[in-house]
Amino acid sequence: MSGNTNFGDSALAKNTTGKWNTAIGAYSELNNTTGISNTALGINSLLTNTTGNYNTALGTAAMCDNISGDANTSVGSNVLQHNTTGYNNVAIGVSALLNNTTGFANVAVGVEALLSNTNGQQNTAVGHNALKNLITAGSAAQENTAVGARALENTTTGLSNTAVGRSAMRWSKIGSFNASLGSYALARNETGYNNTAVGYGAMQFNNINGNNTAIGYNTLGGAYQQGTSGETFTYGYSNVAVGCNAMCKNTYGNNNAAFGFGSMQNGLTGSYNTAVGFGTLLNNTGGVNNVAVGQSALQNFLGDGNVAIGSLSSINTTGGFNTSIGYASLAGNISGTQNVAVGHKALQFNNSFDNTAIGTYSMISSTGTSNVAVGISSLGYNTGNQNTAVGLQAGYTGSGSYNTFLGSGAGGGTNITSFNGVNGDRNTFIGYNTGRTGNTLGITGSNNTCLGANALLSGLTASNEIVLGDSSIATLRCQVTTITGLSDRRDKKDIQKLNAGITFITQLNPVSFTWNTRDGGKIGIPDTGFIAQDLKQVQIDTGVHIPGLVYEANPEKMEASYGKLLPVLVEAIQDLKREMDVLRKDVDDLKKNK
């Protein structure tokens, strides 16, 4: 027929109506009858083609068994050799698409690419042995793309996989809807599905589970274990790992998200964790429900339910249910639990539990439990328990417990080595610098209350005191003029008549004076009253002791309680009354005797 070109023994020998065919080589297009526009170059190329059209076969036995397949292109020895009715295929390379029979729209470039495919369709394989073992027919083996030597080499029935890179998804068998970009990415995946791996070795050892996303060198793959005896596969699902070595040793962990170089790098079985930043959750092996944001946050960590935001926050903890926000917050915590640290180095070296610290350096080196600290350096070096401190350096040092510090410097010592803060218990200090002695020794008294700026106890060992204001206070104002206290007979014993009266009162020395306090609190203020030393001497001289009349908790600042004189004044008035009664009787008797 017209338009045919043949050269070689029996080339186009049986052609009847076929035209525009080119056959060069012995037996090329031998059995062609009506096929048109075919090109065959090589011995036995398109040997059995009869009605197939628009095929190009270049190479020995190329498309040798084709019968009616159309629009195929084959370049190389044995390429598309067994194709019979498959169409729109492109095969380049020795034995590429060798066993394809009815599969269509496949592209195979490389030696033995898509070698075993028979009925699979719309697959693309570029590289030596790419998609070599794809065999199952129909929809179970279609729409795969493999680019790179040995990419998807062992896939048999996979569907809609994309593998780009040397040995990418090399051992995948029946996994579907996976995407891998990079040498050895998803290399050991067998049945995993819906996975995305981008980077050298990404998810290399993922085996059966799916819905994972890995972006970066060795991410989510166990690639660190390559070459070790007994390869460890990963079976986790629904993980996201972005960054070099992120989650690279994960085995059974699920629903994790790791973003950053080395994030969750050594994690094995932990689940429901979120790590964002270089080295975050680095050594977490089995912890769950943790959130780490910032360089090395929760780095050496094993616990559950922790939240760490900030570089080096909660770096060493094995405790659980802690929250740390700020650089190095809770950084030195090892086993402490249920702590909240907000601020630069808050609770940095604490290893206890149930503490709340808000503010830079708050509770930085505290070892106590169940404390609340709000403010820069509040409870910074305090070792007590169940304390509450609000304010700059409030409760800064000390070892006491159950104390309340409210105000800048309240109850705060100044020397972190001498514990010159509050070492007693159940004290309340409210106001700027209340209870802050500046002494090298701390307050050891308990059950005290100081209210007002610079209010101080009478002494370091004083207990059961209430102090209102500092030495500058001139007026104590209240809507009532007396203080009500317990005076029930049922709460008293050894009740006796007071033996101090007019004799004691006559020894008192009321004076007027001008205040000139040594601490400068009151200067040049006129007043009236008594001298504490005089009141003490009167008790010595009269042999009458009035409890609490002179307060000597601090011998350097003797104090007096004028109210203690009220019973004495009453007794003195009664003494005078009795004397007046005697005098009145004597006067009456004199009048009668006149």
Q: Is 215 part of a structural domain of the chain?
A: no
Q: Is the pLDDT confidence value at 230 over 60?
A: no
User: What average pLDDT does the segment 476-481 reach?
Assistant: 85
**pLDDT tens digits, residue range 529-571?**
999 999 999 999 999 999 999 999 888 899 999 999 999 999 9
Q: Is 545 part of a structural domain of the chain?
A: yes
Position 490 scores a pLDDT of: 93
Picking from 152-161, 248-257, 297-306, which range would have the lowest pLDDT averaged per residue?
A: 297-306
Q: Is 571 part of a structural domain of the chain?
A: yes
Q: Is 44 part of a structural domain of the chain?
A: no
Q: Is 507 part of a structural domain of the chain?
A: yes
- Within a 10 A sphere around the Cβ of 440, how many other Cβ atoms? 12
Main-chain phi, psi angles of 259, to 5 degrees: -125, 115
- Beta-strand relationship, 124-126 and 307-309: unpaired
Q: Is the pLDDT confidence value at 229 over 50?
A: no
Position 228 scores a pLDDT of: 46
Position 227 scores a pLDDT of: 44
Token pair 């052609």 is found at: 15
Position 139 scores a pLDDT of: 62
Domain with 497, as residue range(s), is 489-575
The two three-digit tokens of residue 357, written as one number: 């610290």
**pLDDT tens digits, residue range 247-267?**
888 888 899 999 999 999 888
In the chain, how many domains are there? 1
Among 240, 248, 251, 280, smallest CA distance to 263 is for 280
Question: DSSP letter at 232?
Answer: P
User: What average pLDDT does the segment 365-376 reach?
Assistant: 94
Q: Is the pLDDT confidence value at 49 over 70?
A: yes
Confidence class for position 178, pLDDT limits 50, 70, 90: very high
Picking from 50-54, 85-89, 136-140, 460-464, which range would have the lowest pLDDT averaged per residue?
A: 136-140
User: What average pLDDT does the segment 385-394 reach?
Assistant: 96
- The chain-wide mean pLDDT, for the chain, equals 90
Q: Is the pLDDT confidence value at 81 over 70?
A: yes
Q: Is 561 part of a structural domain of the chain?
A: yes
- Alpha carbons 341 and 347: distance in angstroms, whole number: 6
Token pair 């059961």 is found at: 464
Is the separation of the CB atoms in 111 and 102 below 8 Å? no
Going from the C-alpha of 47 to that of each of 8, 16, 68, 237, 271, the distances in angstroms are 13, 15, 12, 50, 60
Position 554 scores a pLDDT of: 86
Q: Is 540 part of a structural domain of the chain?
A: yes
Q: Is 518 part of a structural domain of the chain?
A: yes
The two three-digit tokens of residue 576, written as one number: 């005078």
Going from the C-alpha of 348 to that of each of 330, 359, 527, the distances in angstroms are 4, 12, 52
Position 220 scores a pLDDT of: 86
Among 384, 389, 368, smallest CA distance to 436 is for 389
- Alpha carbons 542 and 54: distance in angstroms, whole number: 136
